[in-house]
Amino acid sequence: MLVHSRTGRWTAWVTFAVLFVPLFALPLLVIVAASFSTNWSGAFPSGPTTGHYAAAVRGEALQALTTSLVTALVASLVALTAGTWAALAGAALGRKGKRVLDALFMLPVAVPSVVVGLAVLVAFSQPPVLLNGTRWIVILAHTVLVTAFAHQSVSAAIQRLDPMYEQAAASLGARPSYVLLRVRLPLLLPSLNAAAGLCFALSMGELSATMMLYPPDWMPLPVLVFTATDRGSLFTGSALAVVLMATTLLALLAVSRIRTKASFR
């Protein structure tokens, strides 16, 4: 503990609570409370029920949850592969080339996601590559959006990687491909893992680009949350939101468990 005096420690905790509770904890707690109620006209919700959850885990809602999970999984895997590949290539380039590559990969983050959604929609609404109306256009948009984050975090990790490991491997007679598979990627594993978690979480929560693209048979959960609350079904929407939140957290927890197993230093 950096703060040594007793009063200092108390002040630190109180400041933390004052900042954390209203900003981060309360909004989430409100959603959880709303998801269990049927009426909220006073200061507190009333009419406790679990009915919203019963609805949230079957039919259309369950469909939306699996849609979100599959989209996030595919998009993160593709993004991680493409992002890592590009980061490795960038590391091998000169300083100028790397800067250009980094800037290109940052574009989808710099551009509002609505614009990315529109761009994907316009680009793939006509042959030769006609994806509009299929699930692939949603997955594609998510991939474009999250690849930037994968590339950035893997790129930073590669920069921190000490070249002496690579050189030791090369001096032992290992070809570059062997060094990549047996030394560099294993050493990057913790970062790859973190990047995968980040991509997954971002994709699970993506709404604005998805709204412009989703076909009727591929509606991710955030869209369902939005339409439910838009219709006025605030409590159903809350239950769906809690399901979305819990699933994402569980997935991240699972990923972080792999990460602790894979970190060596």
Partner 1 sequence: MTSGIRFDAVSVAYGGTTVLDRLDLTVEPGEVMALLGPSGSGKTTALRAVAGFVRPASGRVLIGDRDVTGLPPYKRGIGMVVQQYALFPHLRVEANVAFGLKAQKVPKGEIPGRVAEALGMTGMAAYAHRYPRELSGGQQQRVAIARALAIRPKVLLLDEPLSALDAQLRSGMLAELARLHRELPDVSILYVTHDQVEALTLADRIAVMDKARLQDCGTPQDLYRRPRTEFTASFVGNANLLPVTVGTEGVVFDGTELKVGVSGAAPGSAATLCFRPHLVGLGEGPNPLRGQIVEVQWRGSTHRLYVDVGGHRVKADVRELRETPSPGTEVTLHFAPEDAVLLGAGVNDGR
Q: How many CB atoms lie within 10 A of CB 75?
A: 27
Among 119, 165, 234, 245, binds partner 1 (CB under 8 A): 165
Which residues touch 230 (CB under 8 Å, ≥6 apart)?
A: none
Q: How far is the CB of 193 from partner 1 (least distance, A)?
A: 13
Is 164 a binding residue for partner 1 by CB under 8 A? The answer is yes
16 or 178: whose CB is closer to partner 1?
Answer: 178
62 or 262: whose CB is closer to partner 1?
Answer: 262
6 φ/ψ angles, rounded to the nearest 5 degrees: -65, -45
183 or 251: whose CB is closer to partner 1?
Answer: 183
131 φ/ψ angles, rounded to the nearest 5 degrees: -110, -15
Is 167 a binding residue for partner 1 by CB under 8 A? The answer is yes
Is 171 a binding residue for partner 1 by CB under 8 A? The answer is yes
Rounded to 10 deg, the angle between the 135-160 and 185-205 helix axes is: 140
Is 261 a binding residue for partner 1 by CB under 8 A? The answer is no
Task: Let me know how many helices (H) and strands (E) the chain has, helices first.
Answer: 13, 0
Q: How far is the CB of 156 from partner 1 (least distance, A)?
A: 19
162 or 230: whose CB is closer to partner 1?
Answer: 162
Which residues touch 103 (CB under 8 Å, ≥6 apart)?
A: none
DSSP state of 182: I
Q: Is 218 exposed, middle or buried (0-12, 13-18, 19+ CB in 10 A)?
A: buried
Among 30, 103, 129, 168, binds partner 1 (CB under 8 A): 168
Is 72 a binding residue for partner 1 by CB under 8 A? The answer is no
Contact positions with partner 1 (CB under 8 A) in 173-192: 173-176, 178, 182-183, 186-187, 189
Contact positions with partner 1 (CB under 8 A) in 195-254: none
Q: How far apart are CA 32 and CA 237, in angstroms?
A: 11
Is 25 a binding residue for partner 1 by CB under 8 A? The answer is no
Binding positions for partner 1, rule: CB under 8 A: 162, 164-165, 167-176, 178, 182-183, 186-187, 189, 264-265
